[in-house]
Structure 1
Amino acid sequence: MRSSTPFARGWMPGEVLASRGSRGRARSMLVFPDGSRIGEWEYIRTYSHLRANSAHVWSFVSVPAVVQFPHIVLDATGNRRGHSLDAGVSLSRAQRVRLEGDFDAHFHTYAPAGYGADALYFLTPDVMADLIDSAADWDVELIDTDAVFFRPGSTMPAGGRALEERVRFLRQWRARVARWTHWRDDRLNAGPLVNTDGTLRVPPVGVHRDGQRLNDTRGNTAMLACIVALIVLPYVVVVGRMLLE
């Protein structure tokens, strides 16, 4: 069973991927009983040199998990188009994780500082092979309790063939995500592994705050621009007045 939620508001698939452009929204979405979602995400991109706006549509597949993920982004090199914005464009280079083999040629991987080794728990050789084989043109974001896949293009054109393919894709990665539920954040294991009564302490479930979000440089850029404006503007005003005198 599945239910349709058209023009869903107040919900965002991921954070980094869905925040490309502006005025993003899920313009159509199917919600499954387990919380999985298939839909279309529309965002606006402004072309300043043309002084025009253009709407772009991406498909997304969101797979829930029973545990929280550290924030990891895989920026696929296979979906780079002239109108698209790279997923990693706003992420600092210090968060880039270099992986062996040819995986780096297909995906640029980002994880919070200090979480590169944790990313390897999820990106085992078999997972990397699956991503290259079946998801080479999908950006991927692990965030909170969701694994979100993004790619350019519509999910639900006439005929429904693309939607059927998305459902198969969802089922494939739902099974994969179910195998990631044993990850634990060692930073939460500050106490002894053995309780005072001699029993093993169950590691807590969750993510340390340092691993919950990647450092998005867009906010830093905006802040820097404001600071520069506050510093430069008074001098511009003074010089302007001097020239007019």
Structure 2
Amino acid sequence: MSFDARPLTDPVDPRAVRAFAAELRARGATAMSGAAVFAIVVVALMAVIIVPTLASVMIAVVSSSGRGLGWGVIPFALVGIAVVLGIVLSLVGWRRSRVTRYRLNRFAQANGMAYLARIADPPLPGMIFGMGRSRASSDVVRGTRPRFAEFGNYQYTTGSGKNSTTHHWGYVAVKLDVPLPNIVLDAKGNNSFGSNLPASFRKAQRLSLEGDFDRYFDLYCPEGYERDALYLFTPDIMARFVDNAAQLDVEIVDDWLFLYTQRKVSTLDPATWAWLFGTVGALITKFDQWARWRDDRLLAEHRAATASAGMTTDAGALPFAAPAGMLTPPPGVAQEGRRLKRGVSWVTVAAAIVIGVVWIALRLIG
């Protein structure tokens, strides 16, 4: 997929940056998190109160000593320098974020796409989008040709108080033609101590594929859908994933395909966009054959539903028996194939055991 990367690096007009920032504020598209608001308040207080106060104290110390600058001024000077440096860095980061949003908007326009600064609680079915709280996508770039694709950065928070943790992800969401079984490819190249995914799955759903595919991914599919996974992941499609997405975790859920990474996806780095566009371009050329997949279990589900309602299940009397073309299942996935069954990560179990042992030891010592 060719693209124009010049807006990511070309010089920017400061007036245009300010105008775009004002436009985003007017649209309410740059809602800040509580942490960002707190940081701005702290910086403002430092600029208005702390710096003048430190300056006054230093003047008073010098005046009272009557001997000019001395060693007693050094602690105040160091604190003042630290405060000023913090203010300067905060202002630089604020300006950089405005320039980043402006560049990404220009980049999206140059490539026939759209830019959204922030989406609160994005309505996507992928595993990372149902975790924690304070869920939000940022710097989203999305397009509709040759099919809908969205590139964004995402974060959510788990825990509370001092134990809260903010998790950061980058993702690509690609719309498929039909719903497919929930399939996860856990890339081995980005794992450290076990899987880096925020969810774990029962080992019985692990499916081994032919060739070298298992060296790069652990594939999980719902039990009973092994043949369907083999139909979807033909050798040529497996080769596409190995060659282009071996460092990305993959999830197919409903009529979406997600690519996950724990680094920013929407960035000012042209090489990152080249990699992602190339990956999506290599994969979508094979999605047409996925559109032909149908789930025969839907027929069984319908027969069971009609039987439980007291209706006849004779083939000639089924509602979809006429016209004859409806004998083929419609697009969709039976209930048992829509979601993988979750499991417990051995890393989580090991951590819980260690914490338990330490707690018991501390209790015995105390």
Q: Normalising by the residue count of structure 2, what TM-score does the alignment of the two structures yield? A: 0.52
Alignment of 1:198-217 (within 5 A): 201-217=327-343
The Cα shift of 1:92 comes to 1.0
**Partner residue of 1:42?**
155
Q: Do 1:20 and 1:87's aligned partners in 2 also have CA atoms closer than 8 Å?
A: no
Q: Per-residue displacement from partner, 1:57-101 (whole Å, max 9, x unpaired)?
A: 33211111121111111100011146x953385211111112233
| In 2: Cα distance, 1:132 partner to 1:100 partner | 13
| In 1: Cα distance, 2:293 partner to 2:211 partner | 24
Unaligned runs of 5+ in 1: 219-245
| In 1: Cα distance, 2:330 partner to 2:164 partner | 47
* Residue 141 of structure 1 pairs with residue 251 of structure 2: yes
2:288 to 178, 198, 204: 178
Aligned residues: 215
| In 2: Cα distance, 1:212 partner to 1:7 partner | 29
Q: Do 1:40 and 1:57's aligned partners in 2 also have CA atoms closer than 8 Å?
A: yes
The Cα shift of 1:119 comes to 0.9
2:175 to 39, 57, 64: 64
Amino acid paired to 1:188:
L
| In 2: Cα distance, 1:85 partner to 1:13 partner | 22
| In 2: Cα distance, 1:217 partner to 1:94 partner | 10
Q: Quick one: structure 1 residues 88 and 109, their matched pair in 2 at CA, closer, same or farther if it must change by over 3 Å?
A: farther
**Partner residue of 1:103?**
213
The Cα shift of 1:178 comes to 2.7
Q: Do 2:188 and 2:216's aligned partners in 1 also have CA atoms closer than 8 Å?
A: yes
| In 2: Cα distance, 1:152 partner to 1:2 partner | 24
**Partner residue of 1:86?**
196
Amino acid paired to 1:161:
A
- Structure with more strand by fraction: 1
| In 1: Cα distance, 2:335 partner to 2:271 partner | 41
**Partner residue of 1:4?**
115
Q: Do 1:17 and 1:141's aligned partners in 2 also have CA atoms closer than 8 Å?
A: no
Q: Do 2:122 and 2:129's aligned partners in 1 also have CA atoms closer than 8 Å?
A: no
* Residue 31 of structure 1 pairs with residue 157 of structure 2: no
- Report the 3-state secondary structure (helix = DSSP H, G, I; strand = E; otherwise coil) of the residue aligned with 1:117: helix
The Cα shift of 1:5 comes to 1.7
| In 1: Cα distance, 2:198 partner to 2:210 partner | 19
Q: Per-residue displacement from partner, 1:19-78 (whole Å, max 9, x unpaired)?
A: 5676443122112124311111224467xxxx6555443321111112111111110001
- Report the 3-state secondary structure (helix = DSSP H, G, I; strand = E; otherwise coil) of the residue aligned with 1:6: strand
Q: Quick one: structure 1 residues 185 and 160, their matched pair in 2 at CA, closer, same or farther if it must change by over 3 Å?
A: same
Q: Quick one: structure 1 residues 118 and 66, their matched pair in 2 at CA, closer, same or farther if it must change by over 3 Å?
A: same
Identity of aligned residues (%): 29
| In 2: Cα distance, 1:35 partner to 1:135 partner | 19
- Report the 3-state secondary structure (helix = DSSP H, G, I; strand = E; otherwise coil) of the residue aligned with 2:292: coil
The Cα shift of 1:167 comes to 2.5
Amino acid paired to 2:118:
F
Amino acid paired to 1:211:
G
The Cα shift of 1:153 comes to 1.1
Q: Normalising by the residue count of structure 1, what TM-score does the alignment of the two structures yield? A: 0.74
Report the structure number with the largest CA radius of gyration: 2
| In 2: Cα distance, 1:197 partner to 1:173 partner | 35
**Partner residue of 1:236?**
none
- Report the 3-state secondary structure (helix = DSSP H, G, I; strand = E; otherwise coil) of the residue aligned with 2:275: helix
* Residue 114 of structure 1 pairs with residue 240 of structure 2: no
- Structure with more helix by fraction: 2
Q: Quick one: structure 1 residues 105 and 17, their matched pair in 2 at CA, closer, same or farther if it must change by over 3 Å?
A: farther
Q: Quick one: structure 1 residues 139 and 32, their matched pair in 2 at CA, closer, same or farther if it must change by over 3 Å?
A: same
Q: Quick one: structure 1 residues 157 and 204, their matched pair in 2 at CA, closer, same or farther if it must change by over 3 Å?
A: closer
Q: Do 1:72 and 1:142's aligned partners in 2 also have CA atoms closer than 8 Å?
A: yes
Q: Quick one: structure 1 residues 168 and 200, their matched pair in 2 at CA, closer, same or farther if it must change by over 3 Å?
A: same
Q: Quick one: structure 1 residues 109 and 23, their matched pair in 2 at CA, closer, same or farther if it must change by over 3 Å?
A: farther
The Cα shift of 1:13 comes to 4.5
Q: Quick one: structure 1 residues 198 and 123, their matched pair in 2 at CA, closer, same or farther if it must change by over 3 Å?
A: closer
